Structure 1
């Protein structure tokens, strides 16, 4: 009897395994349209080899000396039209605004070799952009992962950074796991956002997506860039509901997710040189904006306060990780106030 049960279990396992590999080998339907160039879209061909898409909004009136460069979240995110709409308003105060899609994301090119998607590559691209702009200094606005990128850049280019605005900053890279355990003071009244982890995890466990990720970790593309992007965009349609206070305010995806960039860039974090020692005693003015319902642990936010001594924190109530969606006016005015005070 035991032998019969074992035989049934063995064949059941083999059949399920066969079904898994069969599904893993079948390309998925790409039913989310890829992002299309805007009328404002321009391109840089950087010395790093990256072809980068960007939007430039020229400052009006009395021009400020240093441009604003926006660094989107992810890795694998992109510049959403809403961000252009909101941050573009800084141009009214004389700031030149540059919003670019990181390599492998949005309207920028995809890399043939997935192993080239690293945090260092993103930093080198940013350095090349600043050099190309011939700006004496820049003002960096980092969203989520973009804040970690801004920190990596600043550590190696202290003399190039005038001010930094970190919005719902993701963990400083390389990550210190112990930092996340710090609890937020009750006085901040921070709240947990909608939990969307179960839907994101169930999507990530699809056989085809597992196969794409496994081969990418091995340095190979088993799927086209379009298919890998499509998976990230489909998943984003679900997890972005947890990036706002009110899920009904979630913006439609514009199809700019960079699948392979999202998979591979995080694997490079552990190989990074720690930027923290280079930032000791820096006096760069920094504004940290955090939504009351931000999904980033308080400990990660607090680490930025410790690294940047000349920093100030602004909590925006009834807003999630993507503050610019629900509280665009308060988000913008907080930035303008900071830029004027510290200019």
Structure 2
């Protein structure tokens, strides 16, 4: 019989925890388990490092850390991760994966929307956010606040990990068939190496189409939800001519023109377009769980929030311009929980939306 491939669902993650394939000194809680991923928790120890690094083949993070660390930080009473600095934080979770299970990580949505650049590092890693099949060892998060300094404590969940057996990415032909059956997008489906999506800059003169991070702001306590006034951290962006000029180094929150749907038997990941379309990046938090935008889970299609940073030169971003794509994968089996209202998901049915730490701005 052919071995089944796919992303491992919530019920399998619980079994892996029970069997010690995912383990932690502090018990893993139900709130960490998502339909197709597991939230990872910050540990107590962190290090300010002078540069981002990977351990490299055959080498442990702990062996390389003395080369780059500047000082050790105890997060137990809360510690400020300063804008413009790079930190390495031990995570509470560790892995003892079976030989046929690999993993990939990504920042959580709220992390990306705060411009907290967060990546997973494992022993012997030659890539960020990728875990080889059969990996046994600790996990670390590299955190580099780009726009706002942040107050961090142990147990905070800034990134998440998705496990898979084999590869189960939908081909374009398979994705077209899935779209015909499930309607993955509220309009024509542009499928080319995934489901394409574009940016929405269509609002009338004076309407807000996005937000740009202010350069000099106060501290954000990552435990405070619905607490901060957006005006203290963000300036609204308008597009009276249907375009926005992106400034190099600035960080923007925009939204996709399309509302997308991830059926319960699928998981998706946002991937950026190549730099051939412009010197900017869209994608700092990219996992879309089964049930995102799904009607039975309280959605009717949800738009993707875009975390945008321009690089070398000012760039004109036009309404309807292609900016990224969703890559769909099969689940190994349907998860026993879905993204949506029943889980208290923060972004089901979303439009343009800042992270959960901010009060909801008044309607424009």
Instruction: Tell me which interval the TM-score lies in, with the shorter structure as reference length.
Output: under 0.3
TM-score (norm 2): 0.27
Greater C-alpha radius of gyration: 1
TM-score (norm 1): 0.28
Greater share of helix = 1
Greater share of strand = 2
